[in-house]
């Protein structure tokens, strides 16, 4: 048995195959690749103009943010392309489960903005937020597909408060 086989959660082949063939994946692939193209267009065009208007510390923060954004989106694109290869039969799900094809966890980064008197250009901030959201979504899918982790729903804050009130006052909420 290969290391991939022994580390793989049961059912990974069917989960990955089904996901790669789904309409959900096709939409996610399209949206992710559109974000990559939109970001590249901004950084090569209007983003250069935005960067020129920044002071020294703002320009440094802009350069750092754009490198981080590019790296994150390239990881997302790579993951999406791997899943497309599975969908097209160019790669089998077992191979796609290898660590080298998995999504790299996002790194925590220090706040870059404001940088001196400069603030993050709004378009760069929007692209960075959308890229982080895409990466987070893909990371959840990656864990669900390859590790068999079920998506964890967000805790319901109202239910938590009601539970604490019930505990405090000994009454039922219904």
Model confidence pLDDT, tens digit, residues 29-83: 999 999 999 999 999 999 999 999 999 999 999 999 999 999 999 999 999 999 9
Please classify residue 155 by burial: count the beta carbons closer than 10 Å to its beta carbon, then call 0-12 exposed, 13-18 middle and 19+ buried.
exposed
At residue 9 the predicted structure's pLDDT band, cuts being 50, 70 and 90, is low
**Which of residues 122 and 174 earns the better pLDDT score?**
122
pLDDT at 168 (0 to 100): 67
Q: Using only C-alpha atoms, what is the Rg of the chain? A: 21
Question: 118 phi and psi, to 5 degrees?
Answer: -90, 145
Question: What is the percent of the chain with per-residue pLDDT over 70, rounded to a whole number?
Answer: 78
Q: Average per-residue pLDDT in the chain?
A: 84
User: Which alpha helices (DSSP H) does 45-172 contain, by range?
Assistant: 46-52, 56-87, 93-96, 122-142, 157-169
What 3-state DSSP class applies to 115?
strand
What predicted TM-score, i.e. pTM, was given to this entire model?
0.76
pLDDT at 98 (0 to 100): 92
- Cα(56)–Cα(77) distance, rounded to whole angstroms? 31
Q: Are 118 and 111 in contact (CB under 8 A)?
A: no
Closest CA to 142 of 82, 92, 73, 90: 82
In the chain, what are the domains?
3-169 (1.10.8.930)
Any residues with CB less than 8 A from the CB of 54 and at least 6 apart, and which? 61, 62, 115, 118, 121
Output b/e per residue, 75-101; b: 16+ Cβ within 10 A.
bbbebbebbbbbbeeebebeebbbeeb
pLDDT at 130 (0 to 100): 95
pLDDT at 2 (0 to 100): 42
């Amino acid at each position: 048995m290969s290391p991939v086989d022994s580390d793989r959660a049961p059912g990974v082949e069917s989960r990955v195959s089904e996901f790669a063939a789904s309409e959900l994946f096709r939409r996610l692939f399209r949206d992710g690749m559109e974000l990559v193209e939109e970001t590249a267009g901004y950084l090569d065009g209007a983003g250069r103009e935005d960067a020129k208007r920044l002071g020294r510390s703002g320009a440094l923060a802009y350069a750092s943010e754009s490198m981080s954004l590019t790296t994150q989106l390239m990881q997302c694109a790579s993951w999406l392309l791997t899943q497309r290869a599975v969908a097209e039969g160019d790669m089998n799900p077992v191979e796609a489960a290898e660590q080298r094809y998995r999504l790299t966890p996002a790194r925590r980064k220090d706040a870059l903005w404001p940088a001196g008197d400069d603030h993050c250009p709004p378009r760069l901030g929007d692209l960075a937020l959308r890229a982080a959201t895409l990466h987070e979504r893909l990371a959840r899918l990656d864990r669900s597909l390859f590790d068999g982790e079920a998506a964890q729903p967000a805790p319901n804050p109202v239910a938590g408060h009601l539970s604490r009130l019930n505990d405090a006052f000994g009454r039922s909420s219904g």
